[in-house]
Amino acid sequence: MAEFKERKRWLFLGLPWTFTIYTVKDDMITIDKGFLNKQQDDCYMYKVQDVELIRSFWERMVGLGTVRCFTGDTTDKELQIKHVRHAKEIKDFIFDASEKARIKRRTVNMLDIGNGVNVDADGMIDDN
């Protein structure tokens, strides 16, 4: 079972002086925030629909990146794993793990493009 554990970093020199910890496992993404008031947000991996890597100029200067996950989760439609090292590897891992989790749960969304529609149920594809 692979796992990434990263701490959010400041853009100033990429130092990990924040109280946000991201944990990415095969089946779940967890974001722990806060020092005095703690907040934890989880998202099952099969709910991740798309993953995007964002690297601003300053993030590239200090070797960081931000991974944005678009999800079908009710609490957060968009999760951001901000200012982390190894952002490309984390993005690729989430992309692969989410696809495997959807296949495992049999929740794969397949889009049928260009096959036509059988409206009158006669067994023949109808023209539009």
Query: Which pLDDT value is given to residue 86?
Result: 92
**What's the mean pLDDT in 22-36?**
93
pLDDT higher than 70, residue 114: no
pLDDT, tens digit, 9 for 90 and up, residues 31-46: 999 988 999 999 999 9
How far apart CA 53 and CA 78 sit, in angstroms, is 13
pLDDT higher than 80, residue 47: yes
Angle at 106 between CA 100 and CA 108, to 5 degrees: 70
Question: 33: domain CATH number?
Answer: 2.30.29.30
In a domain, 115, yes or no: no
pLDDT higher than 90, residue 8: no
What contacts 39, CB < 8 A, 6 or more positions away? Answer: 32, 33
Query: Which pLDDT value is given to residue 38?
Result: 92
Query: Which pLDDT value is given to residue 107?
Result: 76
User: If you average pLDDT over every residue of the chain, what do you get?
Assistant: 84
User: Which strand (E) or helix (H) includes residue 127?
Assistant: none
How far apart CA 68 and CA 91 sit, in angstroms, is 8
In a domain, 122, yes or no: no
Domain count, the chain: 1
In this prediction, residue 110 has a pLDDT band, given cuts at 50, 70 and 90, of: low
Domain residues for 69? 3-104
How far apart CA 106 and CA 61 sit, in angstroms, is 41
